[in-house]
Amino acid sequence: MNRILLACSSGMSTSLLVTKMQAFAKSIDEDAEIWAVGQEQAKKEMENADVVLIGPQMSFLKGELAAEAQQYGIKVEVIDMMAYGMADGEKAYKQAISLIGATS
């Protein structure tokens, strides 16, 4: 099972993207746990994830979160801006999976 954490300023703007990512994963018969949190909760939740995707509005925190994620052996990346803006669950899911594959 792939565990994908999305983080944004409050955890609200990524909720639609989470729903779309879950629907895409289900459509290709992949088992995935995908959830969203606000930036304050991201560091606490990342130990339960295989990858962390952050909203473009939080890109300034990427270095800080990536440093924290290193201890868990996971990658942190900014969600592709087009995927984020269009709530493109397929594109965001594939981004997450490619990052998980890069750490395996």
In the chain, where are the structural domains located?
A: 2-103
Cα–Cα–Cα angle for 43, 47, 2, rounded to 5 degrees:
120
Beta carbons within 10 angstroms of residue 61's beta carbon: 19
Q: Decide: pTM greater than 0.85.
A: yes
* Longest alpha-carbon distance in the chain: 34
Cα–Cα–Cα angle for 7, 46, 80, rounded to 5 degrees:
40
Among all residues, which ones are annotated catalytic?
8
At residue 11, the pLDDT reads 65
Share the mean pLDDT of the chain. 94
DSSP 3-state of 42: helix
- Per-residue tokens: 6: 């999305």
Beta carbons within 10 angstroms of residue 104's beta carbon: 6
Fold of 2-103: Rossmann fold (3.40.50)
d(CA 92, CA 90): 6
pLDDT in tens, 24-63: 999 999 999 999 999 889 999 999 999 999 999 999 999 9
